[in-house]
Amino acid sequence: MENATPIAAEPSFYFDNSYARMLEGLYVPGRPAQVVEPVLIKYNRALSDALGLDTQALDSPLGAAIFSGNHVPIGATPIAQAYAGHQFGGFSPQLGDGRALLLGEVIDRAGKRHDLALKGSGRTPFSRGGDGKAALGPVLREYLMGEAMHALGIPTTRALAAVTTGESVHRETGALPGAVLTRAASSHIRVGTFQFFAARGDIDNLRRLADYTIARHDPEIKEAPNPYLSLLRAVAERQAVLIARWMNVGFIHGVMNTDNMTVSGETIDYGPCAFMDQYDPATVFSSIDLQGRYAYANQPLIARWNLARLAEALLPLMTNAPERAVALATEVLDEFPIHYERNWLAGMRRKLGLQAQRTDDLALATDFLKTLASRQVDFTLAFDYLADETQVPHQTASRLQALHPTVNDAPTAPPMDAWLSRWRARSALEGRSPLAQTAAMREANPVYIPRNHLVEEALDAATQQGDMRPFERLLDVVKQPFGKRDGLERYALPGTTEQTAGYKTFCGT
C-alpha cells in the first residue's frame, strides 16, 4: 500500500484512498446529501486522537459540516461500495451501500489504515427504494454499542461522530429526528464483497479483490504456497476469535448476513443487536428474525455457514482443479469449530478464574451455563456473583436462586451447590489465593454492559425529549465495564420483568 501524503490546504485529514484507486468496478462514486442544520452532538475524541486527526479542529462546527456530509474534505473520494450477500439465507447478487459512503482511508499514528465512512448520508444507486437516511436512535445505538464492545476488548468498528441533521426521516413509527454517523473500520470488505464478483464469474476482478485484501489485512501470506487458501484460513481464525468473544459476554448481533461479516474480524452494523439478560441459548431480539436463525446459540454455526460462502467465492482462485479446491476449503471450514471452541473455552476459563488447561474444563463451563438456563438467571450478574464466591463462600447459590425463586433445577442441569463444589475443587488446583482469583475474575467479567432497558431509556430521552444526559451517562458507564463503582448500582442490574419481557430490536433502516 502507498503511504498517505499530507493535504496542505486542509490539515485535519491525510487521506489515501487505495480502495477507490485500486478496485474500480467495486463501487460507484457518490456525493453526500446536503442537510439543513448539522449539529455535532457526539465526537469521539479518544478515537480521533488515535487516528491522528486534528481533534480540536474537528470537534466543532467544521466537524459538523464534514460529518454530516455538507462539506467533503479535501482528499476524500466518496464512494458507495458494491457487494452481494446472503440475507437470512437468501442470496442477493447486488446489495451495496444504500445509505453509506466511504469518504476514504486515513493512516493512524501506528501506520495502520482505517476507513472513514458516513452512514445515513442519503441515497446511492444501491438504495433499492430507500431514502438513504438514518434516524437519531439507530445512530446513537451504534455509537454506544461500538464503544461498549471496544471497552470489552472485542474487535469492532467504532463511531467517530454523530451529527443531527435538523431534518426528519419517516419510518413506520412516524417522523423521527435525522442523523448521520461517521464510522471508522479497519476496512469495510465483507464476505459479500467477494460474493459480488464470484456471482458474476468475474475471476480477474475477484483475484484483484483478494490480492488487495491480502495486502491490506494479511501481507505476511502474500508469498504463501496458496495465498487465497491462506486468506480463507486467516478470516476463519479471526471470526473464531470474534464470535467466541461475543458469546463470552452474551452479545447477540441479530443480523449475521454475509454482507455483515467483515474479513477483518471486526463487528459491524449494530442494527437489531442486544446483550442477553437471562441466560437462554435460544434468545432472539431482532424483530425480523422470525425463525431464530441468528439466535444466540446459533451464532457460531452461522459464522461457519458464512465462511462457507466465502470459501465458495474463493474456490476458483485456489487451484484449477475444482475437486481439490473444495477439499482444501472444506479442511479450513472443518477446523473452524475447533478454533472457535478453543477461543470460547479460553474465555470461559478466564471468566471462571482458571489459568491452567484441564480436560474437564469444557464440561465444567457448559454445566455452569446449564444451571443458569434452568434458573433463568442473568448471564452477566451470575459471573459477578461467582467472583464474590471466592471471598464470601457459599453465597452464590442462594443469591442466584433469589433472583428467580420460583424456578427449580431442570432435570438435565446439575444442582448449583454440586456445581460449586466441582468449581471450588478445580480452583484449588490452580494454587492461587482466593484474592488473586477474584482479581482475575474481575478483569474478565464485566459489571456494566449496555442493558437493554437502559439503552432504550437513553435513546428515548435523546430522540423524544432532546435530552442527551442519559445517553452520556450510560456511555460513560459502559466505557469502563470492569469493576464496581459507587453510585452505579442500577447500571449493574437487569431490568424488571415488565422492561425485559418480549423485548424486540429493530434494524433502524
pLDDT tens sequence across 455-502: 999 999 999 999 999 999 999 999 999 999 999 999 999 998 888 888
Q: Among 67, 72, 135, 124, which Cα is nearest to 94's? A: 124
Backbone angles phi, psi at 186, to 5 degrees: -60, -35
pLDDT score recorded for residue 318: 97
Taking the CA atoms of 427, 430, 434 and 435 in sequence, report the sign of the dihedral they define: negative
Once rounded to an integer, what is the mean pLDDT over residues 378-399? Answer: 80
Q: Whole-angstrom distance between the N-terminal and C-terminal Cα of the chain?
A: 34
Q: Write out the three cell numbers for 94.
A: 447486488
pTM of the full structure: 0.94
Which region among 6-20, 171-185, 331-345, 396-410 has the lowest average model confidence (pLDDT)?
396-410
pLDDT over 70, % of the chain: 93
pLDDT band at 399 (very low <50, low <70, confident <90, very high): low
pLDDT band at 398 (very low <50, low <70, confident <90, very high): low
Q: Write out the three cell numbers for 109.
A: 499514528
pLDDT score recorded for residue 214: 98
Rounded Cα distance between 308 and 305, Å, is: 5
Which region among 114-123, 277-286, 311-320, 393-402 has the lowest average model confidence (pLDDT)?
393-402
Asked if 17 contacts 113 with a C-beta cutoff of 8 angstroms, the reply is: no
Once rounded to an integer, what is the mean pLDDT over residues 145-172? Answer: 96
The Cα-based distances of 204 to 198, 209, 316 in angstroms read 10, 9, 10
Q: Mind telling me the catalytic residues? A: 259
Once rounded to an integer, what is the mean pLDDT over residues 150-170? Answer: 97
Residue 371 has pLDDT above 80, yes or no: yes
Which region among 12-16, 111-115, 212-216, 393-397 has the lowest average model confidence (pLDDT)?
393-397
pLDDT score recorded for residue 405: 46
Amino acid letter for position 15: F
Asked if 97 contacts 128 with a C-beta cutoff of 8 angstroms, the reply is: no
Taking the CA atoms of 71, 77, 81 and 82 in sequence, report the sign of the dihedral they define: positive
pLDDT score recorded for residue 232: 98
User: If you average pLDDT over every residue of the chain, what do you get?
Assistant: 92
pLDDT band at 171 (very low <50, low <70, confident <90, very high): confident
DSSP designation for 410: P
What confidence tens digit (pLDDT) does each residue in 21-69 have? 999 999 999 999 999 999 999 999 999 999 999 999 999 999 999 999 9
pLDDT score recorded for residue 119: 97
Rounded Cα distance between 286 and 36, Å, is: 32
pLDDT score recorded for residue 128: 84
Residue 273 has pLDDT above 70, yes or no: yes
pLDDT over 90, % of the chain: 84
Rounded Cα distance between 28 and 80, Å, is: 5
Beta bridge partners of 163: 40, 180
Q: Write out the three cell numbers for 102.
A: 466511504
Calculate the CA 62 to chain-centre distance: 29
Q: Quick check: helix, strand or coil at residue 389? A: helix
Backbone angles phi, psi at 175, to 5 degrees: -80, 135
pLDDT band at 229 (very low <50, low <70, confident <90, very high): very high
What confidence tens digit (pLDDT) does each residue in 323-358 have? 999 999 999 999 999 999 999 999 999 999 999 999
pLDDT score recorded for residue 395: 65
Asked if 407 contacts 376 with a C-beta cutoff of 8 angstroms, the reply is: yes
CA diameter of the chain:
71
Domain boundaries, given as residue ranges, for the chain:
18-188, 192-350
